Every structure is written in structure tokens, then in C-alpha cells.
């Protein structure tokens, strides 16, 4: 009887350790998500402030100035896209170079928050915006 009781106690201690590790992992995941949301909130607030600070300029004028003054950017690899999205606070997945549903969602959210066409395609304008977030 004493052996069974000791065995049960040992098993309980082992299981509580596993549960603690799982809880720590979940807390870390939640901390990561909060960090991403805080960064995203900062980006949105910054964009709103910039919009308030800018006087009205027509779309044609902006595009004309952009073509003349902003150099074209190189295309980004799929891993660079994921890295930039992570740096900008939109992607929390694995940097594997596979643009799956999580990457597509992050691209669309990034585009929406940056006033870009929300199509999930990383074209020249999205590439230019994402390039700012690549760590050099």
C-alpha cells in the first residue's frame, strides 16, 4: 500500500511539472501575441497621426512624385516577406518561405493598415512598404 501511495505521489508531481511547462508555453504564446498587437496598434496610431499632419494632395500628384523620387525596390524573397511582416508586428508564424494562410492574412492586414490595395499580393507598393521593416 505504501509503494502504491509513493508511486501515485511521484506521478502527481511529474504530471504537475508537465502541466506547468504547458502553461508556461501558453503564457509565452500569449505574451508574443500581445507584443504583436501592441506593435500593430502603434503602427495604426502613427499612420493616423501622419494622416492628420498631411495636407490634402491629390492621388495623381502623389503617384507622380512617387515615380520620380522613390526608387524602385527589389523584389523580396518569401522569407524576407515573412521577416518584414514579423518585424512590423503582423506575422507570428515560422519563417519558412511558404506563403500559407497565416502569411496571406498578415499581408492583407498589413496592406489594409498601410492604405494599400488589400489583395494579399506583394506587388511593388507592398514591397516598398514592407522593405522599411526589414532589419538591415
Report the CATH number at residue 100.
1.10.101.10
Q: Tell me what percent of the chain is helix, strand and coil, each rounded to the nearest 5.
A: 70, 0, 30
CA distances (Å), 33 to each of 27, 43, 45, 58, in order? 10, 15, 18, 37
Residue 25 scores a pLDDT above 60: yes
Residue 6 scores a pLDDT above 70: no
Judged by average pLDDT, the poorest of 7-11, 37-41, 92-96, 115-119 is 7-11
pTM attached to this predicted model: 0.50
> Pick the residue with more confidence: 21 or 106?
106
User: Is 40 within the bounds of a domain?
Assistant: yes
| 135 and 80 part of one domain | yes
| 82 and 131 part of one domain | yes
User: Is 68 within the bounds of a domain?
Assistant: no
| 12 and 42 part of one domain | yes
User: Is 84 within the bounds of a domain?
Assistant: yes
User: Is 63 within the bounds of a domain?
Assistant: no
Supply the mean pLDDT for the chain: 77
Instruction: Report the run of H or E that residue 32 belongs to, with start and end.
Output: helix 2-53
Q: What is the dihedral of CA 119, 46, 52, 55, to 10 degrees?
A: -70
Give backbone dihedrals phi and psi of 40, rounded to 5 degrees, phi first: -60, -40
User: Is 65 within the bounds of a domain?
Assistant: no
| 45 and 77 part of one domain | no
Q: What is the dihedral of CA 120, 125, 126, 131, to 10 degrees?
A: 160
Question: Domain count of the chain?
Answer: 2
User: Is 66 within the bounds of a domain?
Assistant: no
| 45 and 91 part of one domain | no
What residue numbers bound the domain in which 43 lies?
1-54
Amino acid at each position: 500500500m505504501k509503494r502504491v501511495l509513493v508511486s501515485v505521489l511521484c506521478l502527481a508531481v511529474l504530471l504537475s511539472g508537465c502541466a506547468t511547462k504547458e502553461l508556461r508555453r501558453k503564457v509565452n504564446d500569449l505574451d508574443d501575441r500581445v507584443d504583436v498587437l501592441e506593435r500593430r496598434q502603434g503602427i495604426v496610431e502613427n499612420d493616423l497621426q501622419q494622416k492628420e499632419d498631411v495636407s490634402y494632395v491629390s492621388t495623381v500628384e502623389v503617384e507622380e512624385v512617387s515615380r520620380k523620387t522613390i526608387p524602385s525596390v527589389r523584389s523580396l524573397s518569401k522569407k524576407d516577406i515573412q521577416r518584414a511582416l514579423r518585424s512590423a508586428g503582423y506575422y507570428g508564424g515560422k519563417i519558412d518561405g511558404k506563403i500559407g494562410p497565416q502569411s496571406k492574412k498578415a499581408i492583407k492586414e498589413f496592406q489594409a493598415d498601410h492604405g494599400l490595395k488589400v489583395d494579399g499580393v506583394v506587388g511593388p507598393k507592398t514591397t516598398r512598404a514592407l522593405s522599411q521593416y526589414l532589419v538591415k
